[in-house]
Amino acid sequence: MYKAKHIGLLYSLMVIFLSSCSAVSTEQQDEIMILPPEELYGELFYDVQTKEIFPDSKAFVDAIPKKDVEEIREEYRKLDDKSVNSISAFVKSNFEIPGDTDIYKSDSSSINQHIKKLWKVLKRPADEQISGTLIPLPNPYIVPGGRFREIYYWDSYFTMLGLQEDGETETIRNMVDNFAYLINTYGFIPNGNRTYYLGRSQPPFFAMMVEVLAEEEGDEVYLEYLEEMQKEYNFWMAGVENLSQENPAHRRVVQIAEGEILNRYWDDNPEPRPESYREDIETAEEAVAAFPELTKEEVYRDLRAGAESAWDYSSRWLDADASGDFSLYTIYTTDIIPVDLNSLLYNLEGTIAKAYQLSGNTFEAEEFRNKQQRRKKLLDKYCWNSQKEFYMDYNFRRNKNTEVVSLAGVYPLFFEVAAPGKAGEVAEKIQSDFLKSGGVVSTLSHTGEQWDAPNGWAPLQWISIKGLRNYGKEALANKIRNRWLGINEAVYARTYKMLEKYNVEDLTKKSGGGEYPTQDGFGWTNGVYQRLSGEK
């Protein structure tokens, strides 16, 4: 159960009841709210997840109740037979379970036409009814696809690149408005519009979405969303006044030295993720067995923080053992200052400064430009590794960079934080180490985690290509572009599918790793492909 301190986070949900239930009395309306699944379903949730009723733990938490949840809970309480078969039958009788069937009809369309058709397939209408854990949104939106049946924060920026290419400005505005709604309702943008995501966000790309919309509708867009950008910034910086030498970290802010503030990933709830409940318990048990000084709550927090990073999971967040191997139970995300997160916040500070300048508030504009410049200096001080000549994450507990070289190191090029000389050194390492036959690989580690080698992901191709172009590295950027488009096209020719990720090292093999099979659909792959293939 969520503890009392979490109730404030859910307060705005408490006025919403399960309108998907056709007959709910006034008294029941007062009692039935949208809640995280462990509160919503109680004992049933724990039994379903721990007894592995579904291979994918996300299936049940996304299920839609067929009737009043109070009634379902009471019927389950009275159920004598709590065997796996009985629970499975009970759930199927009382819930609509998300299907695993492929909803995309293959045809011989060109890849660009296929993606244009997919916008309609992946679009969801504004939510008029409440369905289990889904947080309703006021406007239509695009979901990634596959098991991801809700909007996702950072995915949506890369999806918008393709929507912009295809002239879908109305859809972009609807999605930006949805994110503004989430900020105004909850004070931040959750990982996705599910109640079980209310403890964490994702990489803060909202300012980049505002920029996309401004490119289509003009600079007044920056003024329209200034308040929301400020609120998001306040979320990431919350608790900075509590920092001291004795208490150097609080939620998402970290004081490395006096006056030196950077950010980390976090989650407010030190509990197993409902959508990966069984898996998180197993990981925590492994961790405390290997490291008795740890608590399970610390492990849950690091797993959730890794999910907020959206690199769930990667050797970036793991500690190598004596042999150099990485295992998920060694996760220590909250000890790390990530280079990508702080580059994104550098951009957010700059975008807020621009919006204040447009509004005529030159004082606040200067304040945020100063914040941005301070962060730039700290990124260079703590995230530039002169020995490896690359931007790297920083472990503030150990006062040194982590050992894992990753494509997060190209974010300072994407946001033009890097000095030209450093950008050149980053480009050389991408050319020598990251560039593969299908694009660029996420890290150089082969761990079995999905955000490590051999996988390549659409967002990181885009970040790399644009970052390199910012510094005149056109030849390398175009090489990445052409190889990425090539692997997308080769897989599409065989399968008529756009995948979530690709094996960029061996084009004859599928991608893999992680907590679930490779998904098809797929929002950000579609978006990046449309944008890159549309270049003249």
Residues serving a catalytic function are: 312, 500
Cis peptide leading into residue 313 (ω within 30°)? yes
Length reported for the chain? 536
Contact 443, 436 (CB under 8 A): no
Distance (Å) of CA 381 to CA 250, 327, 418, 427: 21, 29, 12, 20
**What is the DSSP annotation of 120-175?**
HHHEE----S--TTBPP-SS-EE--BTTB-S-BHHHHHHHHHHHHHTT-HHHHHHH
Q: Return the SS3 of 496.
A: coil
Name which of 2, 5, 4 is nearest 45 in CA terms.
2
Dist. CA 208–CA 492, nearest whole Å: 29
CA angle (288, 291, 296) in 5-degree steps: 30
Token digits for 162?
A: 């393709």
Token digits for 524?
A: 């950000």
Q: Is 319 exposed, middle or buried (0-12, 13-18, 19+ CB in 10 A)?
A: middle
What phi, psi does 236 have (nearest 5°)?
-70, -25
Runs of H (alpha helix) within 291-404: 296-309, 339-359, 362-383
| Bridge partners, 257 (sequence order) | 260
What phi, psi does 498 have (nearest 5°)?
-110, 120
